[in-house]
Amino acid sequence: MIFESGASGKFVALGDDSMEGEIDGEDDDDEGVVETDDATGDDGEQAVTETEKPEKEEEEEVDTSLKPSQDVDATILFTKPVNTNDLPSGKPVRFLVGFKNNGEKDFTVSSLETSFRYPQDYSFFIQNFTTAVYNQLVEPNKEATFEYGFTPSEAFNSRPFGLSILLNYKDNDGNEYQSAVFNETINVVEPDEGLDGETFFLYLFLVAIVVLLGIGAQQLLTTFGKKHLGKGKAAPKVEMGTQKTDVDYSWLPQETLQEINKSPKGSPRGGSPRKRKSKRGSGEE
C-alpha cells in the first residue's frame, strides 16, 4: 500500500513481499548478466585461438620451403659475358655451376631454374627461362659441373632485373634441397657489336672511293703539267736546205753549175747532200 503525505509528494510503500520480489528480480537479472559475461569470455578465447591459427599456418609454410644442405657447396662462374652486372640483350648468356658433395651420402642433382624477378620484390616473377633437367648422381667427396645458358629478350634493354638461379637436388633418403647459386640485381644493356659486316664493307667502299679520287687527281696533275711545260719550251725549228731533188739543174751549163758550187752563197749547206758527202770523202782521203 502507498500513502501520500502532504504536498511534498512523499510516498511510503508498505509490504515487504513486493519489495522482496523486486529485489529477487534484480538478483535474477544480475545472475543473468553474470552468465552473459561468461559467454563473452568464451567467445574471446575462441577469437584468440582463431587469430593464432593463421600465424601457425604461416610458420608451417615457411618451414616447408626448400633450403640448402650443409654438406653441399654450390658455386657459379659466368663464362659469357665475364661481367655479371651487365648482360647483353639478344645475346646468349652462359655460366657454369659447380656442385661439391662434402657429406657421406649420395646426392642427385635434379634440375636448375633461372628466372628474372622484380628487383624490389624477388617473389614477383617477370620471366621464367627453361628449366634444365640433369638427374646426375654425385658421390661423397666428389664434384660435378653443370652448364646452362639463356638469352635475355631485346625488350628488356636498359632495365634492371633480379636474376635468380636455383639448383635443386636431393639425397638418398629423398630429402629435397635447393641452393640459390646466384640471387642479385643485374642490368640488361644493348650489345656492343664493334665492327660488323656492314660497317666493314662501308669502310672498304670509302677507301676505294678515296683511292680512285687520288688516281684521278694524279692523272689531272700529270696532264696539266705536260701542257704547261710544252708551252714554256718550244721545240727548235729545223731548217731544211735546198736539195737537188727540189730543183732541176740539168738544163744549166756545166760552167754555171761549177760556179754555183764554188760560191758559198749558192746554197746554205754548200750544195747537195751527195756532193757534200763526196767532198768529205775526198777530204778524208
Which pLDDT tens digit goes with each residue over 19-34? Answer: 444 444 444 444 444 4
Q: Which helix (H) or strand (E) is 158 found in, with range?
A: none
Q: What's domain 72-189's architecture?
A: Sandwich (2.60)
Short-list 202, 211, 273, 213, CA closest to 242: 273
- pLDDT at 82 (0 to 100): 86
The pLDDT confidence band at residue 68, using thresholds 50, 70 and 90, is very high
The pLDDT confidence band at residue 222, using thresholds 50, 70 and 90, is confident
Count other Cβ atoms within 10 Å, centred on residue 83.
10
pTM of the model: 0.49
The rounded distance, in Å, linking the Cα atoms of 37 and 262 is 175
For 163-191, write each residue's pLDDT tens digit. 999 999 999 999 999 999 999 999 999 88
Assigned C-alpha cell, 42: 568464451
The rounded distance, in Å, linking the Cα atoms of 66 and 70 is 13
93-114 average pLDDT score: 96
Domain boundaries of the chain, sorted by first residue? 2-63, 72-189, 244-277
Reply yes or no on whether the pLDDT at 110 is more than 80. Answer: yes
Q: Which residue has the higher pLDDT, 191 or 151?
A: 151
Cis bond leading into 119, ω under 30°?
no
Count other Cβ atoms within 10 Å, centred on residue 93.
22
What are the backbone angles phi and psi of residue 220, rounded to the nearest 5°? -65, -45
Check if the beta carbon of residue 68 is closer than 8 Å to that of residue 170: no
Check if the beta carbon of residue 139 is closer than 8 Å to that of residue 106: yes
